Amino acid sequence: MTDAIRLSKLAAISAFAAIAVTACGPDRPGEGPRTEVTRDQIEEGLGALGMAEESRMEWDSSVIDGGVAVFTGVTRPDSELPGRIGRFSIAAPRVEGGVTRFDALEAEDLTVEDEDQITRLERLKVDQPGPGLSQWLSDVMAGRMNEGGYEPPSRSAADYTFSEVSMSGMTIAPRDNGAAPTGRIARMALEDFDGQKLGRAVIEGMAFRDAGEAGEAFMFALEEFSMTGMDALFAEIFLNLDDETGFPALGDAFGDAMSAWMRPTGAFDAMRVRGLELAAGGASIDMPSMDMRYETRRDDSIDIIAEMPSLRIALSPDAPEMAEASQMLAMMGYEVLEFAAYSRTRFDPQADRATTTLDDYWFELTDGLRISLAQDVTGLQAYSDATAALMSEMIILAEEDPAQLDAADERLLEAYGHLKVNAMTIRIEDRDLVSRLIAMNAQMQGVSPEEARMQAATMVSLGIAMAGGMLPDGLALQLGGAISALISEGGAVELVMNPDEPVGMDLFFKLDEDMSVLSDLGLSVRHIPPQ
Q: How many domains does the chain have?
A: 2
Asked whether 409 and 387 are in contact (CB, 8 A), the reply is no
Residue 241 exposure: Cα atoms within 13 Å on the Cβ side: 5
When pLDDT is averaged across residues 391-396 and rounded to a whole number, the result is 76
Helices (H), 69-223: 131-142
Question: What is the per-residue pLDDT across 209-236, written as a single tens digit (0 to 9) for each?
Answer: 987 766 578 999 999 999 999 998 888 8
pLDDT in tens, 104-136: 999 999 999 888 889 999 999 999 999 999 999
Going by pLDDT thresholds of 50, 70 and 90, the confidence category of residue 30 is very low
Q: Are strands 369-378 and 492-497 parallel, antiparallel or unpaired?
A: unpaired
Query: What does DSSP assign to residue 275?
Result: E
Max alpha carbon distance in the chain (Å)? Answer: 93
The DSSP line for 220-259 is EEEEEEEEEEEE-TTHHHHHTTT-GGGHHHHHHHHHHHHH
Angle at 334 between CA 333 and CA 338, to 5 degrees: 145
CA-CA-CA-CA torsion sign (18, 21, 22, 24):
negative
Who contacts 516 (Cβ-Cβ below 8 Å, separation ≥6)? Answer: none
Q: Is 170 exposed, middle or buried (0-12, 13-18, 19+ CB in 10 A)?
A: buried
Report the C-alpha gap between 481 and 461 in whole angstroms. 7
pLDDT, the chain, mean: 87
Helices 449-466 and 475-489 cross at an angle (nearest 10°) of 170
Report the pLDDT value the prediction gives residue 6, as an integer from 0 to 100. Answer: 42
Alpha carbons within 13 angstroms on the beta-carbon side of residue 498 total: 6
Contacting residues for 256 by C-beta, under 8 A, at least 6 apart: 388, 392
Name the nearest CA neighbour of 103 among 142, 145, 49, 157. Answer: 49
Distance CA 154, CA 175 (A): 41
Closest CA to 357 of 287, 426, 266, 274: 426
Q: Which of 137, 161, 185 is the last residue of a domain?
A: 161
For the stretch 303-330, pLDDT in tens is 999 999 999 999 999 888 899 999 999 9
Query: What is the rounded (10 degree) CA torsion for 190, 192, 193, 196?
Result: -130
In a domain, 293, yes or no: no
What is the band of 371 on the pLDDT scale with cuts at 50, 70, 90? Answer: very high
Q: What is the pLDDT of residue 514?
A: 78
pLDDT tens digits, residue range 154-204?
Answer: 989 999 999 999 999 999 988 776 666 789 999 999 999 999 999 999 999
Other C-beta atoms closer than 10 Å to the C-beta of 90 total 25
From 106, 139, 161, the end of a domain falls on: 161
Q: Is residue 311 part of a domain?
A: no
The 3-state secondary structure of 364-431, one letter per residue: EECCCEEEEEEEEEECHHHHHHHHHHHHHHHHHHHHHCHHHHHHHHHHHHHHHHHCEEEEEEEEEEEC
pLDDT higher than 90, residue 471: no
235 falls within a domain:
no
d(CA 110, CA 170): 9
In a domain, 484, yes or no: yes
248-263 pLDDT, tens digit each: 566 667 777 877 888 8
In angstroms, the Cα distances linking 74 to 67, 79, 110, 441 are 20, 12, 9, 68
pLDDT at residue 248, rounded to an integer: 56
Q: Does 462 score more than 50 pLDDT?
A: yes
Residue 258 confidence (pLDDT): 79
**The predicted structure's pLDDT at residue 177:** 66
| Domain stop point among 136, 161, 186 | 161
pLDDT-based confidence at residue 79 (cuts at 50, 70, 90): confident
In a domain, 147, yes or no: yes
Which pLDDT score, from 0 to 100, does residue 274 have? 99
Contacts of 402 (CB under 8 A, 6+ apart): none
Listed residue (203, 249, 200) closest to 222, CA to CA: 203
The 10s digit of each residue's pLDDT in 291-302 is: 999 999 999 999
pLDDT given at position 397: 73
Domain of residue 526 covers 351-379+419-531
Q: How confident is the model at residue 57 (pLDDT cuts 50, 70, 90)?
A: confident
Q: Where are the alpha helices (DSSP H) in 292-336?
A: 323-331
pLDDT at 5 over 50: no
Query: How large is the average pLDDT for residues 478-489?
Result: 92
C-alpha Rg value of the chain to the nearest Å: 30
Helix (H, G, I), strand (E, B) or coil at 460: helix
- What is the reported pLDDT for 78? 73
- Judge residue 124's burial from the number of C-beta atoms within 10 Å of its C-beta, 0-12 exposed, 13-18 middle, 19 or more buried: buried
Average the pLDDT over 474-481 and give the result.
88
- Three-state SS at 290: strand
Does 300 fall in a domain? no
- b/e map 193-210, b = 16+ CB within 10 Å: bebebbbbbbbbbbbbbb
Q: 3 in a domain, yes or no?
A: yes
Q: How confident is the model at residue 459 (pLDDT cuts 50, 70, 90)?
A: confident
- Rounded CA-CA distance 253/247 in Å is 10
pLDDT for position 335: 94
CA-to-CA distance for 476 and 468, rounded, in angstroms? 5
Give the Cα separation of 321 and 52 in Å (integer): 60
259 within a domain of the structure (yes/no) = no
| Stated pTM of the model | 0.85
pLDDT of residue 246: 53
CA torsion 237→126→267→245, rounded to 10°? 0
pLDDT band at 458 (very low <50, low <70, confident <90, very high): confident
C-alpha dihedral (117, 84, 100, 243), degrees to nearest 10:
20
Q: How confident is the model at residue 8 (pLDDT cuts 50, 70, 90)?
A: very low
